[in-house]
C-alpha cells in the first residue's frame, strides 16, 4: 500500500521484463502491458479495509457527537408529535363530537382537541425543520472536512504516487467518491433515526401487548439477521467494484478530453466510443449487481414480515378461540406488526447507502493512509541565511523502478555557478533536475544544498530555495497576473509586471484585450505555447530562488524572445546557482560550465570554451549546431 | 404589441426540462410501464391482509371454526407472497431501466462531447464536463429509478382520493381543496427557489472538480514552487462556498418538507372542526365523518412525500438543463450536407486563400489575410516551413488544415477542393498532424503510434519509428506492447515527441502538418531525425512550423507569418539576405546574440 517514493512499478512481479507477454491480437490488448496494476485492494483482505474506513468515518463524526445525540432526541420527540395527530382525531371523534351533540352542547372538548392538534402539528413541523437543517449542517461539515483532508493529503504526496495512481483516479477519489458519501448524508440519517426509533418502540409495545405473540413475532429476526449478513457480504464486494468501474470511466473521460486535439485529428472518436461504451456497460453491470442485491433484500424483508403476520394471525386466532386472548389485542397486534416491518425496509435502504458510501470510504481511506515516500523531515535542519546555493550530488543512485537511470553520480555545483546539462534524449537530464528539486529521493547517496541533505530540509524552505521550471509551463485558470504571482503570492501588481517586463513577456501581455487581467482559460489554452513558457518563466523569475532549475524552459520560444530571456537570466543568475537543460546550444553558452550526460553518467565536464576547443562529444555537438545555423 | 421579456429562469416551472429524458426513456417504456403496474398492484395487495384479518375475526373466530382458518391463512400467505413478488418485480424493472437510461445518457453525452469543436472545449472547463457526465447523470438515474415513479403514483393517489373525498361529502371536500391553495402557492415558490439553488450547487460541483483537476494535473508546478498552500486555499474557498450553497439548499428543502408535512395535519384539524359542526347541524352522520377522515388519512404520506419528490424532480430538471447545454451545443465543425469524398492526390496541393481567423471574444483576428500556396509545381511534395514570432499564429494556422478550427473568412483548399467540401473523415485521413505538445494516451506504444491508422502493418510501424528515430521503444520492457502514457511507463520529453512524430508520419499521409516537431530533441538526434524525415517529406506536402534554422532547412521554401499575413515566401538563404524581419527571427547572428552579449 505504501509507495516507496523512488520506485514506481514498472516491472512485472518477477522483476524482470518478460518479452513473451506480447499479445497475439493487438486490438484485444490495445492498452498494452504495464507492470502490476496499481489497484489498492490488498492481500490483507476486506475486514482490514472495512476497519480502516470505519476508523475514518469515526474520526470524521467524532467532533459532531453532541450534535448527533441532540438530533436523535429531536427526531424522537418529532416522531411522537407526528404520531399524535391521528390519535387526537380519534379522541376528537370519540369525545369532542358527542360532547358537541350533547344537551347542553359543550364546545370546549372540540376546541381543546383542535388546539392540541395544531400544537402537535406545529411542534412536529418545527422539530422537523430543526432536524433537517441540523443534520444537513453536520453532514456538510463532515464532507468539507473530508474534502479538505483528502485534498491536502494528495497535494502532499510525492510525484511517484501521482505517477502511479494517475490523475484520473485521484480526480475520481476527490469527486465521485466524496459524492457517494454526500448521498448518504443527504438521504440516510433522517430515515435511519426515524426507522430505528419506531422499530425499537414498536418492538417493546409488541412484547408488552402479549408476550407469546411477541415472541412469535420476533421469530422473524434470525431470518432478518441471516439476510443482513448475506447482503453485507455481497454488497461490500459489489459496491467496491462500482467504485472501480466509475473511476475507470472518469479516467477515460479525462484522458479523452485532455487530448481532444489528438483525438479529433486522428479520428479516434469511433474507437473511443466503443471503449467508453464498454467501460460504461461494465459500470452499469457492477451497479446492477449492487442494486439487484437491494432489490432482493427489500422484498425479502416484506416477505418475512408477511410470513410472521400469517403466523401471528393463525396462532393468535387459535388462542382467541381457546379464550387465552382478547380479539382486540390480536387486531391491534397485527396493526402494530405492519408498522414494525415497514421501517425495517427503510433501515435496509439506509444500510444500502451505507454500503455504497463505505466502498467510497475504503478508497478514500486508502489514499489517506498512503504515506509520503518523500516525507517532510520531522526535525528539519535550517538552511543558512541567505542560502548560498551550493548543490552536491554525493554518490547518488537513482531509478524509477526499472533499470537505474543514474547509476552513480558525483557532482559538485559551487554556489553561484550556472551549469548547462546537455546530452542525448533519455540520458537522464530531467531526472537529475528532478532530484535537485527533490521530486524524488535518491535510492542511494545524498543530494545536499549548502551542506544540508535535501531530505532534512523543511519543504517550505526547500521550495523557497529551489525552483524548477519545466517545458510544459502548466498554467492554472485565472488571469495572467495570477499565474505569474503564483511564483510569489505576496508580490504586488507592479512586481508582477516588472517580472514580465524583465523576461520580455510584457509586450504580448499588453496586446491582449485585458492585459494582465486576461483569463488564460484552462491550462492556458488562450495563449500560444511560447507565451505559456514566458509566463512560466516570469513566475520563476518572480519567485527568485537561490537555485534555479530550468528544464527546456525556452524550447518553444522564437530566437529573439529567447535572447531576451537569456539577458534577463544573466542578470538574475549573476549570483544564483542554476542548472539549465537545453538543446539549443545558444542557451548553453551563457553557462559557466557544461556537463555532457550519457546514459546517466557525466562524460564531459568543463567550461564551454574548453569543451568546444576539445575533441569530445560536446565539440562534435557544437560543430553540428554551428553548421545547422548556416 | 411589444414582446414580453422572458421570465427569469427561476420563475418558470422548469420541470418541463424533464421532457428531455423522454427520448432516453422511450426504448425502455415497457419496463417503465411494468414498474408502474408493479407499484400499483403491490398497493392493492397490501389491502388484502387487513381484509383477511377482518374475515378471520368475523368468521372462524366468531364461529370457533378451526378448520375454516386454514383457507383464510392460505389466502393471506398467498397475497403476502404476491406482495413481495410484486415488490421485487418493481425494483427489478426499475433497476434495469434506470441503469440503462443512465448508461445511454452518458454514452450519448460522451459521444457528443467528442465531436464538439476544439473551440468548445477551450471554452469549457473540463471539471464542468466531468461533473455533468458523472454527478448529473447519476442524479437523473436516481430520479428515474425512484422518485419519478413515486411522484406519479402519489400524485395519482392524491387526485383519486381527492375525487373520492368530494364525492363522499362535497362541503368537506371543498374545504380540503381550499387548503391546497396556500400549499400550492408556497410550494411553487419554494420549489422554484430549490431549482435555482440546485443549479448553483451543481455548478459549484463542476468548479470544484475543475480545481481538483488542475491541482492534480499541475502537481509538478505546484510542488516545484511549493505552492500547495495557495492551491489548497483556492480549493478551500470553493469547498466552503459549496457548503454554504448546500446549506441554503438544505434550508429550502426543509421549508418545503415542513410545508408538506404541516399541511395534512392542519387539514385534519380543519376537518375535525368542520365535520363536528356538520354533524351537530345534522348534515353529516358520525359514521360519515369517521369514513371521511379515514379516507383523508390515506393521503397523509402521499402528500408529505410530494414535498421531497417534487424537490428531487427540480434537482433532476436542473441536471437535465446542465446536460442539455452540452447536448445542444452546436457542432460547428461538421460535414456539410451532401459532401462526398473528393479525389485528393498524394502529395496534394494545399492552398490558403485569403484566410481569416479570429478567436471569438479575443480582440482582433489572429490571421487577417493569409495567402499561401504549398504548390506541387514548385516541387512535387513540397515542404513549406512556417516561421513567425511567438504568438504570431502559426499553431492556429496549422490547426485550420485538419479543421480543428474553421476559418472565419477565405478558404483552405486541397487539390482545389475547399476542405469544407470534403468529409471530415477523409480530410483527417489525408492530413496528419504532430502537435507542439506531444499527447500520448494510456495505451500500448503500438496503439499510440497507429492512432490514426489502426490497420497499419508492422513494417509500416517500424518504418515510422525509424523515421522518428524512436527505436528506443524496442528497449522498453515489453517493446511495442508496453503501455505508456499516464497509466503506464513515463517517457522523457524527447521520447514523447518522437512518438508523436512517428504517429504523424505513419502511412505517409498526403499532407503532413508538423508543429515545431523537433523542439525537445538534442542536436544529434535532431540531425538524425531530419535526415530520415527528408525522405518522407519528399513525397508528401508538408507544412512545418519552425523556430530553428536547422528545422527550416528541411523545407523547400519558407513562409514568414507576420501580423496575421504571410509577408514573405522564399528560400531560406534568400529571405535571410532580403527580409530584415526574417533575419531578426532566424539568423545565426541573432541566435548567437546571447553568446555575443556575454563575451562583451
Ligand atoms: N517518471 C518516470 N517513470 C519512469 N521512467 C521514467 C520517468 N521519467 C523518465 N523516465 C525514464 O528515465 C530515462 C531518463 O529520462 P529523463 O527524462 O531524465 O531524460 P532526459 O535526458 O531529460 O531526456 P529528454 O532530453 O528527452 O527530456 C528515460 O529512459 C525515461 O524513459
Ligand atoms: N483559444 C484562444 N482564444 C483566444 N486567443 C487565442 C487562443 N489560442 C491562441 N490565441 C492567441 O492567438 C495568437 C496565436 O497563437 P498561436 O498558438 O497560433 O501562436 P504560435 O505562432 O503558434 O506561437 P508559438 O510559437 O508560441 O507556438 C496568440 O497571440 C494567442 O494569444
Ligand atoms: Mg505554436
The per-residue DSSP string of B311-377 comes to HHHHHHHHHHHHHHHHHHS---S-PPTT-------SS--EEEEEEEE--TTSSS-SEEEEEEEE-TT
- Say whether residue A474 is in contact with chain B using an 8 A CB cutoff: yes
- Asked if B56 lies within 8 A of A317 by C-beta distance, the reply is yes
Residue closest via CA to ligand 2's atom 3 equals: A526
| Structure confidence by residue, pLDDT tens digits, B386-427 | 999 888 889 999 999 999 999 988 889 888 889 999 999 999
Residue of B nearest to A128 (CA): B258
Alpha helices in A323-385 (DSSP H): 327-369
Distance from CA of A44 to the nearest CA of B (A): 25
Alpha-carbon Rg for chain B in angstroms: 36
Does ligand 2 come within 6 angstroms of the Cβ of A44? no
Beta bridge partners of B352: B372, B412
Closest alpha carbon to A583 in A436, A437, A427, A466: A427
Cell (9 digits) for B264 = 395534512
pLDDT at A523 over 80: no
- Asked if A33 lies within 8 A of B478 by C-beta distance, the reply is yes
ipTM rounded to 2 decimals: 0.88
User: Using CA atoms, how far apart are residues B54 and B62, in angstroms rounded to an integer?
Assistant: 11
User: Using CA atoms, how far apart are residues A269 and A338, in angstroms rounded to an integer?
Assistant: 55
Nearest to B547 among A85, A466, A559 (CB): A559
User: Using CA atoms, how far apart are residues A165 and A370, in angstroms rounded to an integer?
Assistant: 11
User: Using CA atoms, how far apart are residues B372 and B570, in angstroms rounded to an integer?
Assistant: 11
In CATH terms, is domain B15-327 a member of 1.10.287.10? no
- Asked if A424 lies within 8 A of B444 by C-beta distance, the reply is no
pLDDT at A7 over 80: no
Closest alpha carbon to B519 in B491, B546, B492, B555: B546
| Structure confidence by residue, pLDDT tens digits, A340-383 | 887 888 888 888 888 888 888 888 888 888 887 788 888 888 88
- Asked if A33 lies within 8 A of B359 by C-beta distance, the reply is no
pLDDT at B472 over 70: yes
pLDDT at B205 over 80: yes
Q: Chain B partners of A330 at a C-beta cutoff of 8 Å?
A: 57
Ligand 1 atom closest to residue A432's alpha carbon, by position in its atom list: 18
* Whether residue B348 has a cis bond before it, omega within 30° of 0: no
Residue closest via CA to ligand 2's atom 23 equals: B391
The 8-class DSSP code of residue B11 comes to T
Nearest to A31 among B81, B442, B598 (CB): B442
pLDDT of residue B347: 81
pLDDT of residue B323: 93
Question: Greatest CA separation found in chain B?
Answer: 123
Does ligand 1 come within 6 angstroms of the Cβ of B491? yes
- Asked if B76 lies within 8 A of A310 by C-beta distance, the reply is yes
How far, in Å, is the centroid of ligand 3 from the Cα of B543? 13
CB distance B565 to B371 below 8 Å: yes
Mean pLDDT score across all residues of chain A: 83
Closest alpha carbon to A409 in A446, A355, A376: A446
- Asked if A586 lies within 8 A of B594 by C-beta distance, the reply is yes
Distance from CA of A111 to the nearest CA of B (A): 8
| Structure confidence by residue, pLDDT tens digits, B536-581 | 888 888 899 988 888 888 888 899 998 888 888 888 888 888 888 8
How far, in Å, is the centroid of ligand 3 from the Cα of A531? 9
Distance from CA of A272 to the nearest CA of B (A): 8
- Say whether residue A467 is in contact with chain B using an 8 A CB cutoff: yes
Nearest to B598 among A263, A558, A570 (CB): A570
Which A residues 347-386 touch B at CB under 8 Å?
none
What order do you get walking across the sheet with A601-606 strand by strand? A466-469, A547-551, A577-581, A418-423, A593-598, A601-606
Cell (9 digits) for A51 = 476497519
Residue A292: count other Cβ atoms within 10 Å of its Cβ. 18
Q: Residue A329: CB partners within 8 Å, gap ≥ 6?
A: A209, A210, A213
User: Using CA atoms, how far apart are residues B127 and A71, in angstroms rounded to an integer?
Assistant: 35
Cell (9 digits) for A232 = 453485507
Q: What is the mean pLDDT of residues A251-277?
A: 91
pLDDT at A36 over 50: no
User: Using CA atoms, how far apart are residues A537 and A524, in angstroms rounded to an integer?
Assistant: 14
Query: Which ligand sits nearest to residue B486's alpha carbon?
Result: 1
Backbone region of residue B512 per phi and psi (left: phi > 0; alpha: psi in -120 to 50; beta: other values)? beta
Q: What is the mean pLDDT of residues A176-188?
A: 81
Of A9-13, A294-298, B136-140, the poorest mean pLDDT is in: A9-13
Q: Chain B partners of A523 at a C-beta cutoff of 8 Å?
A: 214, 217
Does ligand 2 come within 6 angstroms of the Cβ of B388? yes
Stated pTM of the model: 0.88
The 8-class DSSP code of residue B183 comes to H
- Asked if B276 lies within 8 A of A271 by C-beta distance, the reply is no
Using pLDDT thresholds of 50, 70 and 90, give the confidence band for residue B486.
Answer: low
Using pLDDT thresholds of 50, 70 and 90, give the confidence band for residue A13.
Answer: very low
CB distance A411 to A392 below 8 Å: yes
CB distance A399 to B490 below 8 Å: no
Cell (9 digits) for A596 = 555532457
Nearest to B84 among A251, A306, A338 (CB): A306
- Say whether residue A479 is in contact with chain B using an 8 A CB cutoff: no
**Range list for CATH 3.40.50.300 in chain B:** 350-599
Cell (9 digits) for B589 = 547572428
CB distance B553 to B583 below 8 Å: no
How far, in Å, is the centroid of ligand 2 from the Cα of B556? 26
What is the number of alpha carbons within 13 Å of residue A320 lying toward its C-beta? 25
Q: What is the mean pLDDT of residues B332-344?
A: 87
How far, in Å, is the centroid of ligand 3 from the Cα of B571? 22
Does ligand 1 come within 6 angstroms of the Cβ of A430? yes
Nearest to B594 among A122, A281, A590 (CB): A590
Q: What is the mean pLDDT of residues B457-486?
A: 86
pLDDT of residue B487: 58
How far, in Å, is the centroid of ligand 1 from the Cα of A472? 15
- Say whether residue A300 is in contact with chain B using an 8 A CB cutoff: yes
Does ligand 2 come within 6 angstroms of the Cβ of B387? no
Nearest to A430 among B235, B243, B493 (CB): B493
Distance from CA of A565 to the nearest CA of B (A): 9
Q: What is the mean pLDDT of residues A518-546?
A: 86
Q: What is the mean pLDDT of residues B320-324?
A: 92
pLDDT at B599 over 70: no
- Domains (range + CATH), chain A: 44-368 (1.20.1560.10), 391-427+437-628 (3.40.50.300)
CB distance A12 to A18 below 8 Å: yes
Ramachandran angles phi, psi of A65, nearest 5°: -50, -50
Cell (9 digits) for A581 = 537543460
Which residue matches cell numbers 529571405?
A: B575
- Asked if B69 lies within 8 A of A566 by C-beta distance, the reply is no
Query: Which ligand sits nearest to residue A509's alpha carbon?
Result: 2
User: Using CA atoms, how far apart are residues B568 and B372, in angstroms rounded to an integer?
Assistant: 10
Using pLDDT thresholds of 50, 70 and 90, give the confidence band for residue B12.
Answer: very low
Q: Chain B partners of A334 at a C-beta cutoff of 8 Å?
A: 49-50, 53
User: Using CA atoms, how far apart are residues B279 and B281, in angstroms rounded to an integer?
Assistant: 5
Q: Chain A partners of B253 at a C-beta cutoff of 8 Å?
A: 132, 136
pLDDT of residue A435: 92
Q: What is the mean pLDDT of residues A306-327?
A: 85
Chain B interface disruption, residue of A74, A162, A259, A306, most B CBs within 10 A: A306
What are the distances in angstroms from CA A11 to CA A18, A355, A440, B528, B558? 9, 35, 19, 31, 46
| Structure confidence by residue, pLDDT tens digits, A134-147 | 989 999 999 999 99
Nearest to A306 among B80, B96, B598 (CB): B80
pLDDT of residue A12: 34
Closest alpha carbon to A186 in B198, B91, B460: B198
**Range list for CATH 1.20.1560.10 in chain B:** 15-327
Could you please state the CATH topology (level 3) that the domain comprising B350-599 is classified under. Answer: Rossmann fold (3.40.50)
Distance from CA of A67 to the nearest CA of B (A): 16
pLDDT at B54 over 80: no
What order do you get walking across the sheet with B431-434 strand by strand? B417-418, B409-414, B350-357, B367-374, B565-570, B557-562, B383-388, B541-545, B511-515, B431-434
Residue B112: count other Cβ atoms within 10 Å of its Cβ. 15
Which CB contacts under 8 angstroms, 24+ apart, belong to B276-280?
Answer: B276/A92, B276/A96, B276/A97, B276/A100, B276/A110, B277/A100, B278/B169, B278/B171, B278/B172, B279/A97, B279/A100, B279/A101, B280/A97, B280/A100, B280/A101, B280/A105
Residue closest via CA to ligand 1's atom 19 equals: A426
Distance from CA of A54 to the nearest CA of B (A): 24
Closest alpha carbon to A342 in B9, B8, B87: B87
Ligand 2 atom closest to residue B516's alpha carbon, by position in its atom list: 27
Amino acid at each position: 500500500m505504501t509507495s516507496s517514493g523512488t520506485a514506481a512499478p514498472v516491472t512485472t512481479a518477477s522483476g524482470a521484463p518478460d518479452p513473451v507477454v506480447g499479445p497475439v491480437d493487438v486490438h484485444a490488448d490495445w492498452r498494452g502491458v504495464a507492470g502490476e496494476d496499481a489497484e489498492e485492494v490488498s492481500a490483507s483482505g476486506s475486514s482490514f479495509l472495512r476497519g480502516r474506513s470505519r476508523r475514518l468515518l469515526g474520526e470524521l463524526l467524532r467532533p459532531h457527537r453532541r450534535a448527533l445525540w441532540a438530533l436523535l432526541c429531536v427526531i424522537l420527540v418529532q416522531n411522537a408529535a407526528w404520531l399524535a395527530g391521528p390519535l387526537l382525531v380519534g379522541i376528537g371523534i370519540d369525545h369532542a363530537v358527542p360532547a358537541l351533540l350533547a344537551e347542553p352542547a359543550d364546545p370546549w372538548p372540540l376546541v381543546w382537541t383542535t388546539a392540541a392538534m395544531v400544537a402537535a402539528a406545529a411542534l412536529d413541523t418545527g422539530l422537523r425543520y430543526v432536524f433537517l437543517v441540523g443534520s444537513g449542517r453536520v453532514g456538510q461539515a463532515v464532507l468539507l472536512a473530508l474534502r479538505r483532508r483528502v485534498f491536502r493529503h494528495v497535494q502532499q504526496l510525492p510525484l511517484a504516487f501521482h505517477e502511479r495512481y494517475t490523475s484520473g483516479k485521484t480526480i475520481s477519489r476527490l469527486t465521485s467518491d466524496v459524492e457517494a458519501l454526500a448521498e448518504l448524508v443527504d438521504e440516510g440519517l433522517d430515515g435511519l433515526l426515524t426507522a430505528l426509533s419506531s422499530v425499537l418502540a414498536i418492538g417493546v409495545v409488541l412484547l408488552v401487548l402479549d408476550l407469546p405473540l411477541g415472541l412469535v413475532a420476533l421469530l422473524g429476526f434470525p431470518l432478518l439477521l441471516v439476510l443482513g449478513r448475506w447482503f453485507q457480504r455481497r454488497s461490500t464486494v459489489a459496491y467496491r467494484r462500482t467504485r472501480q468501474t466509475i473511476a475507470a470511466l472518469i479516467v477515460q473521460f479525462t484522458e479523452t478530453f485532455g487530448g481532444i486535439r489528438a483525438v479529433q485529428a486522428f479520428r479516434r472518436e469511433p474507437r473511443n466510443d466503443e471503449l467508453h461504451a464498454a467501460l460504461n456497460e461494465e459500470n452499469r453491470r457492477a451497479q446492477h449487481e449492487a442494486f439487484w442485491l437491494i432489490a432482493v433484500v427489500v422484498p425479502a424483508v416484506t416477505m418475512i414480515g408477511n410470513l410472521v403476520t400469517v403466523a401471528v394471525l393463525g396462532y393468535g386466532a387459535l388462542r382467541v378461540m381457546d379464550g387465552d386472548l382478547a380479539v382486540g389485542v390480536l387486531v391491534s397486534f397485527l396493526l402494530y406488526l405492519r408498522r414494525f416491518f415497514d421501517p425495517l425496509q427503510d433501515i435496509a435502504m439506509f444500510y444500502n447507502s451505507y454500503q455504497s458510501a463505505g466502498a467510497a470510504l475504503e478508497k478514500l481511506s486508502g489514499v489517506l493512509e498512503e504515506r509520503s515516500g518523500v516525507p517532510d523531515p520531522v526535525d528539519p535542519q535550517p538552511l543558512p541565511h541567505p542560502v548560498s546555493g551550493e548543490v552536491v550530488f554525493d554518490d547518488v543512485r537513482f531509478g524509477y523502478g526499472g533499470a537505474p537511470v543514474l547509476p552513480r553520480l558525483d557532482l559538485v555545483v559551487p554556489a553561484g555557478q550556472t551549469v548547462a546539462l546537455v546530452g542525448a534524449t533519455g540520458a537522464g537530464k530531467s531526472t537529475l533536475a528532478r532530484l535537485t528539486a527533490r521530486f524524488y529521493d535518491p535510492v542511494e547517496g545524498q543530494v545536499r544544498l549548502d551542506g544540508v541533505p535535501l531530505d532534512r530540509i523543511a519543504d517550505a524552505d526547500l521550495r523557497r530555495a529551489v525552483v524548477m521550471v519545466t517545458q510544459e509551463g502548466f498554467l492554472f485558470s485565472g488571469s495572467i497576473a495570477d499565474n505569474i504571482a503564483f511564483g510569489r503570492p505576496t508580490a504586488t501588481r507592479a512586481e508582477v509586471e516588472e517580472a514580465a517586463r524583465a523576461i520580455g513577456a510584457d509586450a504580448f501581455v499588453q496586446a491582449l484585450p485585458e492585459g494582465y487581467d486576461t483569463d488564460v482559460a484552462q491550462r492556458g489554452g488562450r495563449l500560444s505555447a511560447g507565451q505559456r513558457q514566458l509566463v512560466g518563466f516570469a513566475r520563476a523569475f518572480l519567485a527568485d530562488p537561490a537555485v534555479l532549475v530550468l528544464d527546456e524552459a525556452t524550447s518553444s520560444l522564437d530566437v529573439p524572445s529567447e535572447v531576451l530571456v537569456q539577458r534577463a537570466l544573466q542578470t538574475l543568475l549573476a549570483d544564483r546557482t542554476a542548472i539549465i537543460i537545453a538543446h539549443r546550444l545558444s542557451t548553453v553558452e551563457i553557462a559557466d560550465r557544461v556537463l555532457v550526460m550519457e546514459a546517466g553518467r557525466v562524460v564531459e565536464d568543463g567550461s564551454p570554451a574548453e569543451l568546444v576547443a576539445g575533441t569530445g562529444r560536446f565539440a562534435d555537438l557544437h560543430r553540428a549546431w554551428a553548421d545547422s545555423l548556416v | 404589441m411589444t414582446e414580453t421579456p422572458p421570465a427569469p429562469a427561476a420563475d418558470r416551472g422548469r420541470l418541463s426540462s424533464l421532457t428531455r429524458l423522454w427520448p432516453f426513456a422511450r426504448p425502455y417504456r415497457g419496463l417503465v410501464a411494468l414498474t408502474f403496474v408493479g407499484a400499483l398492484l403491490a398497493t392493492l395487495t397490501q389491502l388484502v391482509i387487513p381484509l383477511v384479518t377482518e374475515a378471520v375475526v368475523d368468521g372462524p373466530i366468531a364461529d370457533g371454526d378451526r378448520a375454516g382458518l386454514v383457507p383464510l391463512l392460505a389466502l393471506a400467505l398467498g397475497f403476502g407472497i404476491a406482495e413481495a413478488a410484486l415488490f421485487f418485480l418493481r425494483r427489478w424493472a426499475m433497476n434495469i431501466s434506470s441503469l440503462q437510461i443512465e448508461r445511454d445518457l452518458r454514452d450519448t453525452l460522451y459521444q457528443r462531447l467528442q465531436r464538439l469543436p476544439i473551440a468548445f472545449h477551450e471554452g469549457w472547463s473540463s471539471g464542468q464536463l466531468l461533473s455533468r457526465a458523472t454527478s448529473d447523470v447519476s442524479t437523473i438515474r436516481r430520479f428515474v429509478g425512484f422518485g419519478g415513479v413515486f411522484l406519479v403514483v402519489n400524485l395519482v393517489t392524491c387526485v383519486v382520493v381527492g375525487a373520492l373525498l368530494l364525492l363522499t361529502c362535497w362541503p368537506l371536500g371543498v374545504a380540503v381543496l381550499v387548503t391546497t391553495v396556500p400549499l400550492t402557492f408556497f410550494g411553487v415558490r419554494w420549489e422554484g427557489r430549490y431549482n435555482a439553488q440546485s443549479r448553483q450547487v451543481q455548478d459549484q460541483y463542476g468548479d470544484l472538480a475543475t480545481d481538483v483537476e488542475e491541482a492534480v494535473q499541475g502537481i509538478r508546478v505546484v510542488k516545484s514552487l511549493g505552492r500547495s498552500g495557495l492551491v489548497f486555499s483556492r480549493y478551500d474557498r470553493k469547498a466552503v462556498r459549496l457548503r454554504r450553497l448546500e446549506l441554503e439548499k438544505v434550508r429550502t428543502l426543509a421549508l418545503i418538507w415542513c410545508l408538506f408535512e404541516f399541511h395534512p395535519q392542519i387539514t385534519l384539524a380543519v376537518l375535525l372542526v368542520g365535520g363536528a359542526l356538520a354533524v351537530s347541524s345534522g348534515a353529516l352522520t358520525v359514521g360519515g365523518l369517521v369514513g371521511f377522515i379515514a379516507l383523508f388519512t390515506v393521503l397523509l404520506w402521499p402528500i408529505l412525500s410530494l414535498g421531497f419528490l417534487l424537490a428531487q424532480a427540480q434537482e433532476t430538471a436542473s441536471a437535465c438543463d446542465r446536460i442539455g447545454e452540452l447536448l445542444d451545443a452546436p457542432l460547428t465543425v461538421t460535414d456539410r450536407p451532401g459532401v462526398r469524398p473528393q479525389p485528393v492526390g498524394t502529395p496534394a496541393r494545399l492552398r490558403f486563400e485569403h484566410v481569416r481567423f479570429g478567436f471569438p471574444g479575443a480582440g482582433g483576428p489572429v490571421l487577417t489575410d493569409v495567402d499561401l500556396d504549398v504548390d506541387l509545381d514548385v516541387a512535387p511534395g513540397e515542404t513549406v516551413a512556417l516561421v513567425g514570432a511567438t504568438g504570431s499564429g502559426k499553431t492556429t494556422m496549422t490547426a485550420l488544415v485538419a479543421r480543428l478550427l474553421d476559418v472565419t473568412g477565405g478558404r483552405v483548399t486541397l487539390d482545389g477542393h475547399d476542405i469544407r467540401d470534403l468529409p471530415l473523415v477523409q480530410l483527417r485521413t489525408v492530413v496528419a498532424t504532430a502537435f507542439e505538445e506531444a499527447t500520448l494516451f494510456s495505451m500500448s506504444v503500438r496503439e499510440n503510434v497507429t492512432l490514426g491508422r489502426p490497420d497499419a502493418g508492422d513494417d509500416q510501424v517500424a518504418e515510422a519509428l525509424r523515421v522518428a528515430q524512436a527505436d528506443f521503444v524496442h528497449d522498453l520492457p515489453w517493446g511495442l506492447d508496453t503501455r505508456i502514457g499516464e497509466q503506464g511507463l513515463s517517457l522523457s520529453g524527447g521520447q514523447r515527441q518522437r512518438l508523436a512524430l512517428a504517429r504523424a508520419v505513419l502511412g505517409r499521409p498526403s499532407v503532413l502538418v508538423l508543429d515545431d516537431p523537433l523542439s525537445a530533441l538534442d542536436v544529434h538526434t535532431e540531425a538524425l531525425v531530419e535526415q530520415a524525415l527528408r525522405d518522407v517529406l519528399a513525397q508528401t506536402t508538408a507544412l512545418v512550423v519552425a523556430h530553428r534554422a536547422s528545422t527550416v532547412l528541411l523545407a523547400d521554401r519558407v513562409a514568414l507569418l507576420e501580423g496575421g499575413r504571410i509577408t514573405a515566401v522564399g528560400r531560406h538563404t534568400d529571405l535571410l539576405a532580403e527580409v530584415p524581419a526574417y533575419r531578426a527571427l532566424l539568423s545565426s547572428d541573432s541566435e548567437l546574440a546571447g553568446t555575443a552579449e556575454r563575451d562583451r
